[in-house]
Structure 1
Amino acid sequence: MHKNFNWVSVVALALVLILSACGSNNETDSESAADKESEKETTWDKINEEGEIVVGTSGTLYPTSYHKEENNELTGYDIEVMREVAKKLDIEVTFEEIGIDGIFAALKSGRIDAAINDIGIKEERKKTYSFSDPYKYSYTTMIVREEDLSGIESIEDVKGKKAGGAANTGYSQLAEHYGAEVVTYGNATNDVYLRDVDNGRTDLIINDYYLQSLALEAMPQFDLTLHPDIKMNPSKQAIMMGKEDQELQKKINEAIAELHEDGTLTEISKKFFNGQDASKKPEGDFEEVNYE
């Protein structure tokens, strides 16, 4: 062996090569993980690939999501809006009928891709879900018995009364906020709610103005009315999606903007809301009640 051979240099060089190799592997692994994350399939990717979006709706909420009596076909303002959105996106839409209390869980689990059922945009909901731009504007009102307004002169008189409602809705939360006892239903139709107020099982229903007024018009057999003095919380209804579905949200928003611009939303609204345009903000003074 050569006398001047430097073992220290050899060992140092070997260590440098080993450390360099380790550094390269770590960088490669990091880049690979980042690439995989960026390539992760989104809800929109799946929808676009399959050519179909699965949308949750109740099918029991007149006139936004219900079945025609003559042929049992699913229709309504929300249903026809969603069909037009799907046309703009060049995809098919399949509706899965679920009670409103189950829609949120179905969206979380991935059973459905989106939901449309007169769902209001709420700050609390936005922590868990994302929403499209509004396709409907309205406000909150109350159905009561016509003969005595169910003993309710102001919203504070709701305390101690029984309010018919569905679980997990802002309307039920509002009733509870004012001290009402909420009598919850499953996926019940409007006539069930109205009959119970009429016969005294419940005293009131807090809900959307358009839905309430049309339900009363469709079922004149009940001695009920909209409360003349209670108008609250202008609302915005939108299509609900998963929290991380920004790409799907963007696509749906583009479609809704086109439907606003070309007058399709107005046309559909007038068909289902007796000539009224629910796609535009209502005028008037409304009491703002924060119950979240």
Structure 2
Amino acid sequence: MKKLFVFGLVLVLAVSAFAGAKKESAANSLERIKAAGELVIGIEGTYPPYTYHDAATNKLIGYDVEVAEAIAAKLGVTPKFVESKWDSLIIGLDSGLWDTVINQVGVTAERKEKYDFTVPYTYTHGVVIVRADNDGIKTFEDLNGKSSAQTITSNWAQLGERYGAKIIGTDGFNESVQLVIDRRADATINDDVTFADYLKEHPESPTKVVATSTDVTESAVILAKNQKELLDAINKALSELSADGTLTRLSQKYLNLDVSKR
């Protein structure tokens, strides 16, 4: 019995120490990042025009990539990108695999309960995409009872579910569109900029937009809770990058329009 008591006491102390260390680590995250000299960023790398690889050089590029690089420069550190599938990106924050995710993460009420968001750096509209020969879906309401190919944890999947769609899980936008083309899904939802960029690369794609949301989707940098110093520092960086025209320039470079402003 005594051995069990001692073991239990040690376990409690160990858990308490771990929790305290985790809390201290979160509180001093900005200091830790500056000491390490790098900001570790979770990113897809397969989501043009935001995060993708240049066909000729295989270099990681895109609007979000350069925004992340500009933020890191403002913090005085080097960005370290870690690529992962979308559904693993936000989960990686819980595990401490990266300091933040900069990958068009939509700001939602559900996510704000568990994570902190910076000020938005992207404003877009959601669109419903179907095969060109599909005349049965013309509005978001028409998704009710239909299948929509989406990354499971994305805000687009949540939007589809809100309209009654049956979600088919995918690893990213390109797979979602391909399922629509192959008639394995009735539709997919994403932002208007992503689809416009897709059509530039695939002008013969047998797909079309049938509905555009009137609501503006805001995307921001996402962080684990209770990292006020880091949150404030990134907000300050984004404010400066907006004021000096950097966000507008990067948006025009990759998207041919300014999505950095509402």
Provide the TM-score with structure 2 as the length reference.
0.87
Q: Mark the structure with the bigger radius of gyration.
A: 1
Instruction: Establish whether residue 278 from structure 1 lines up as the match of residue 248 from structure 2.
Output: no
Contact 1:63–1:272 at 8 Å: present in 2 too?
Answer: yes
The corresponding residue for 1:23 is: none
Q: Does the 8 Å contact 2:125/2:212 carry over to 1?
A: no
Match of 1:284 in 2: none
81-90 or 172-181, which moves further after superposition?
A: 172-181
Instruction: Name which of 242, 254, 269 aligns with 2:236.
Output: 254
Letter in 2 for 1:237: S
Percent of aligned pairs sharing the same letter: 33
Deviation (angstroms), 1:108:
0.9
Q: Which runs of 4+ in 1 moved over 6 A?
A: none
The correspondence for 1:107, drawn from 70, 93, 98, is: 93
More strand by share: 2
- Say if 1:191 and 1:219, in contact at 8 Å, map to a contact too: no
Q: Contact between 1:166 and 1:172, CA under 8 Å: does it hold in 2?
A: yes
Deviations 1:200-233 (A, max 9, x none): 1111111111112211222123111112x43242
CA 1:148–1:246: 2 relative to 1, 3 Å: same
Kept in 2, the 8 Å contact 1:163–1:206? The answer is yes
Deviation larger for 76-85 or 209-218: 209-218
1:54 to 2:36 alignment = no
Partner amino acid, structure 1, of 2:33: I
Other structure's SS at 1:226 match: strand
Matched, 1:123 2:70: no
Whole-Å separation in 2 of the counterparts to 1:276 and 1:141: 17
* 2:220 counterpart (238, 244, 255): 238
Unaligned runs of 5+ in 1: 1-35, 282-292
Residue type at the aligned position of 2:257: Q
Unaligned runs of 5+ residues in structure 2 are 1-19
Tell me if 1:183 matches 2:168.
yes
Within the alignment, does 1:168 sit opposite 2:140 as a pair? Answer: no
| Residue 40 (str. 1) matches residue 24 (str. 2) | yes
Instruction: Give the CA deviation at 1:144.
Output: 1.3
Q: Is the 8 A contact 1:194 1:222 kept in 2?
A: no
Counterpart mapping for 1:83-94 below 5 A = 83-94=69-80
Q: Secondary structure at the match of 2:109?
A: coil
- Structure 2 residue 134 is the aligned partner of structure 1 residue 153: no
Q: Is the 8 A contact 1:146 1:225 kept in 2?
A: yes
User: Which residue of 2 is the match for residue 79 of structure 1?
Assistant: 65
How far apart are 1:240 and its partner, in Å?
Answer: 0.5
2:9 is matched with none
Number of positions where the alignment pairs a residue of Structure 1 with one of Structure 2 = 240
Contact in 1 for aligned 2:44/2:84 (Cα 8 Å): yes
CA distance in 1, matches of 2:245, 2:212: 31
Corresponding letter in the other structure for 1:40: E
1:141 and 1:232 in contact (8 A); partners too: no
Does the alignment pair 1:201 with 2:211?
no
Deviation of 1:53 (Å): 0.7
Aligned partner letter, 1:47: I
The SS at the match of 1:81 is helix
Matching residue of 1:220: 203
Residue 263 of structure 1 pairs with residue 259 of structure 2: no
Query: What SS does the aligned partner of 2:74 have?
Result: helix
Offset, 1:154: 2.0
Asked if the contact 2:128/2:209 (under 8 Å) is kept, the reply is yes
Deviation at 1:50, TM superposition (A): 0.7
Deviation at 1:93, TM superposition (A): 0.5
Give the structure-1-normalised TM-score: 0.78
Residue deviations 1:243-265, cap 9 Å, x none? 11111010001110111011010
Deviation (angstroms), 1:168: 0.8
Alignment RMSD (CA, Å): 1.7
Q: Which residue of 2 aligns with 1:9?
A: none
